[in-house]
Structure 1
Amino acid sequence: MQPISFALYLTLLSSTAAAQVSAERFSTCLATLRAESAAKGVSTAAFDRLTSGLTPDPSVLEFLDYQPEFRTPIWDYLASLVDDERVADALAMREKWAGTLAASAERYQVDGDTVIAVWGVESNFGRNFGKRPLLTSLGTLACFGRRQAYFRGEFLSTLKILDRGDIAPDRLVGSWAGAFGHTQFMPSTFLRLAVDGDGDGKRDLMDSVPDALASTANFLHKAGWRQGEPWGYEVVLPAGFDTSVSGRGNKRPLSSWIGRGIRRADGQPIVTSDAAAGLLLPAGPRGPAFLVFRNFDAIYGYNAAESYALAIAHLADRIKGGKVFVTPWPTDDPGLSRSERRELQTLLAGRGYPIGEIDGMIGANSRQAILAEQKRLGLTVDGRPGQKLLAALRAVPAGR
């Protein structure tokens, strides 16, 4: 059986999602939520006012089972999030907001470069908030699809935010799952941990960088950040290493890792201490390896994916002047940086494909064009933007 195209796959998903959503079912669901709202701190009057005219958006259901941090190869994920462009932007933002950042880092006893790294990865320093109205997305997810109980809580939390007046309803937009603002807090996280960083009496992650930086610093503090300690570092495994002892949660004293022949990749000695570390092997034993400490777990708490935490940690190191990983990823087709992705899109557009905006974001149009060119060039047809495809398109002029 021939595999379906990525575009057709999205079309089928959209049709299925739309079929599952009905206005009657949504109305019934909202009535149930209305009955629960008072117990969650939202009056029925506020509920009625804020949900008046609300309709579901079936398209958000397409994303429930597709999260890039779990499905994208780690070398692609890191290449697109931690590149020279983002490091340069981070350094510029660190200088621009130096006073605000220093005050937040000092108040909450966290690393300012890690706060900046979260900002860069989460919204590209405020450039990519997401455009979906939170009430629409979360209302849909609260009534349809998987994890309805979780999203019901986030929907009611969104109503509380709006009722309190921290953020205007027309400004509260974000990702399909409801994360919003410069550092992409979920509504329940906002209610628990957002702080007023600029002293105006409001907590506004949409239009106040000081609020966003201070809130992220507070998040890391509450997650157990230990000031002055590293998140971890890259290490090299000895030949024949028993990888059954690996795992972020399988922490052992540093003396244990030293005894097993592990050494730091940068040549510095591993200093024996009381600290416990886990061995992270995000691409298996042939890829980069890391000893990770408590601060890595604090970053992990922001978005429960090890690839995400590694991206934040690595970007923070690069901001400090650190280098790329010593051990290469175990692939013969490494991922593309954002500038390379834009170049790839430009080359595809030059061949007549309807790419749309050249933005480095590999969406459905870009993916469909990649599939077609991979087939034409005799490459593996998987829709993945890699170095092999980019090199092939550079080498073959358009029209040939």
Structure 2
Amino acid sequence: MSVIATRHFLALNFSLAHNACCRKIGSGIMVFVVLTFTHTAHAENNDFSECISRIKSQAKAEGIPDRTVSKVLDKVKYIPRVIELDRRQPEFTQTFANYFNTRINDERIQRGRELFTRHRPLLNQIQQETGIPAQYLVSFWGLETNYGGYFGDWSVVDSLATLACDPRRSTFFTQELFNAMRIVDAGDISPERMIGSWAGAMGHMQFMPSTFLRYAKDIDGDGRRDLWGSIPDAMGSAANFLRQLGWTPGLDWGREVRLPPAFDYSLAGRDQMLSEAEWAKLGVTTTAGTPLPPSEQKAALLVPSGHQGPAFLVTKNFYIIMRWNRSEFYALSVGHLADRIAGATALHRTPRADTEKISREQVRQLQMDLSTLGIDAGEADGVMGSVTRQAISRFQKSTQRIADGHLDASLLIAIREAAGMVR
């Protein structure tokens, strides 16, 4: 029984113990629960203490000074809630409409425009030095922490130590904990001020410690890389990160486009890039219906809500955004929010809202059903990734449907029935 579950059980039986008709039984249960809770907490604390002792030895072997190891780890705490969050998976799949409409709203756009104007001299300087357009930096800022409104309220050191002592991803988080110590040792931040997400992402731009060490910069000249209290440091570090990832100056992220009737949606997907001239020959136009420029610039077509939703041509810089966060929905949101901050209008076609909820277990079964039909949908993990969407598109095309890779309840049933006929 977990510590959290034991606490709930304890509260329940405390109530029972005070019920007159059950007082004798309840008191016996109380003794058992208290003993169970005490034993579980004691064992957990012992395991954590032993783990931290090992990490201290490893940190010293990594060359981290004793004083820094002690400063960071002597008062570190185990947080059971962090483990719960690490194990949690959403019950239902996220749709583009729900994701996008939650994040791109009038308030966030207006606030982004205000900050874009307020910090324009700083942002212009950074853009001149790095080639990263100002509106993208503000867009990342808005999506990561709502423009610094919420960094997270977790002790990064406690979170990383908790995850480092958990076997699931111990190696990764142990290294991140070492990196956090190196940040403290450099004098950039104290352990107490190192606040962030439950998984250790920090500051205005939510850098992990390893990202901080590689890309954070002291822009304001105070001798510290302060991604919590210095907007210049945060913006300059984000620009440096994007530049080092390979951002192409002078190239946008992509754009919304209009597709012709009877378009072959099987051409959509991140792995299929054509020149804009080639897309133009296929009947793709701007949202206003004018021809695309006759450019040899490569772009891929994305239809995240299917044929009834918006369509986007995305460039190489879109893939750079995805190296920040490996989600198409996130990258599309960053790109569009950046456009809106710079003064662009709303999407020509609103993302199609899906009223039907599809669970991860249904997606996992779908992936197995597609495999039964001889269509590779990737690992049966319940995640609607690009491989699964391409597999759905192949099924749609083979059954004379619009092959947009979009899943709804009726298609889910059709695939289930088709797989049943094969078995």
Normalising by structure 1, what TM-score? 0.74
Equivalence map 1:279-290=2 (5 Å):
279-290=301-312
Change (3 A) 1:14 1:179: farther
Report the Cα distance in structure 2 between the residues aligned to 1:154 and 1:254, rounded to whole angstroms.
Answer: 42
Q: Is the 8 A contact 2:247 2:320 kept in 1?
A: yes
Q: Which moved more, 1:293-302 or 1:109-118?
A: 293-302
Report the Cα distance in structure 2 between the residues aligned to 1:266 and 1:221, rounded to whole angstroms.
Answer: 32
Report the Cα distance in structure 2 between the residues aligned to 1:100 and 1:294, rounded to whole angstroms.
Answer: 26
1:62 correspondence with 2:95:
no
Which of 129, 132, 140 is the equivalent residue of 1:110? 132
What SS does the aligned partner of 1:22 have?
Answer: helix
1:83 correspondence with 2:98:
no
Change (3 A) 1:154 1:15: farther
Structure 1 residues 142-186: Cα deviation after superposition (integer angstroms, max 9, x where no partner):
111532222222111111111111012221101111111111111
1:233 correspondence with 2:258:
no
Backbone CA RMSD of aligned residues: 2.6
How far 1:240 sits from its partner (Å)? Answer: 3.4
1:197 correspondence with 2:215:
no
Report the Cα distance in structure 2 between the residues aligned to 1:13 and 1:210, rounded to whole angstroms.
Answer: 47
Change (3 A) 1:284 1:150: farther
Change (3 A) 1:320 1:31: same
1:256 correspondence with 2:278:
yes
What's 2:391 paired with?
A: none
Equivalence map 1:1-400=2 (5 Å):
22-66=44-88, 71-144=93-166, 146-331=168-353
What's 2:365 paired with?
A: none
How far 1:332 sits from its partner (Å)? Answer: 6.0
How far 1:106 sits from its partner (Å)? Answer: 1.1
Change (3 A) 1:274 1:32: farther
What's 2:389 paired with?
A: none
Report the Cα distance in structure 2 between the residues aligned to 1:307 and 1:195, rounded to whole angstroms.
Answer: 28
Q: Is the 8 A contact 1:23 1:55 kept in 2?
A: no
Q: Which moved more, 1:203-212 or 1:140-149?
A: 140-149
Change (3 A) 1:325 1:208: same
What's 1:361 paired with?
A: none
Report the Cα distance in structure 2 between the residues aligned to 1:43 and 1:273, rounded to whole angstroms.
Answer: 55
Report the Cα distance in structure 2 between the residues aligned to 1:291 and 1:202, rounded to whole angstroms.
Answer: 40
Structure 1 residues 42-62: Cα deviation after superposition (integer angstroms, max 9, x where no partner):
234421331002121010122
Report the Cα distance in structure 2 between the residues aligned to 1:194 and 1:229, rounded to whole angstroms.
Answer: 24
Change (3 A) 1:76 1:130: same
Q: Is the 8 A contact 1:64 1:146 kept in 2?
A: no
Q: Is the 8 A contact 2:97 2:354 kept in 1?
A: no
Report the Cα distance in structure 2 between the residues aligned to 1:248 and 1:151, rounded to whole angstroms.
Answer: 30
Change (3 A) 1:189 1:14: farther
Q: Is the 8 A contact 1:56 1:136 kept in 2?
A: yes
What's 1:395 paired with?
A: none
How far 1:66 sits from its partner (Å)? Answer: 4.7
Report the Cα distance in structure 2 between the residues aligned to 1:14 and 1:303, rounded to whole angstroms.
Answer: 36
Structure 1 residues 71-114: Cα deviation after superposition (integer angstroms, max 9, x where no partner):
43221221221111111111111122111111111111111000
What SS does the aligned partner of 1:291 have?
Answer: strand
Report the Cα distance in structure 1 between the residues aligned to 2:199 and 2:79, rounded to whole angstroms.
Answer: 12
How far 1:14 sits from its partner (Å)? Answer: 9.5
Change (3 A) 1:55 1:280: same
Q: Which moved more, 1:143-152 or 1:208-217?
A: 143-152
Q: Is the 8 A contact 1:195 1:203 kept in 2?
A: yes
Identical counterparts, % of pairs:
38
What SS does the aligned partner of 2:206 have?
Answer: coil
Query: Which gives a bigger RCO, structure 1 or 2 (Cα 8 Å, sep 6+)?
Result: 1
What's 2:382 paired with?
A: none
Q: Which moved more, 1:243-252 or 1:53-62?
A: 243-252
Structure 1 residues 13-37: Cα deviation after superposition (integer angstroms, max 9, x where no partner):
9989x97981222223223322332
- The number of residues matched between the two structures is 322
Change (3 A) 1:249 1:196: farther
Structure 1 residues 327-375: Cα deviation after superposition (integer angstroms, max 9, x where no partner):
22222659xxxxxxxxxxxxxxxxxxxxxxxxxxxxxxxxxxxxxxxxx
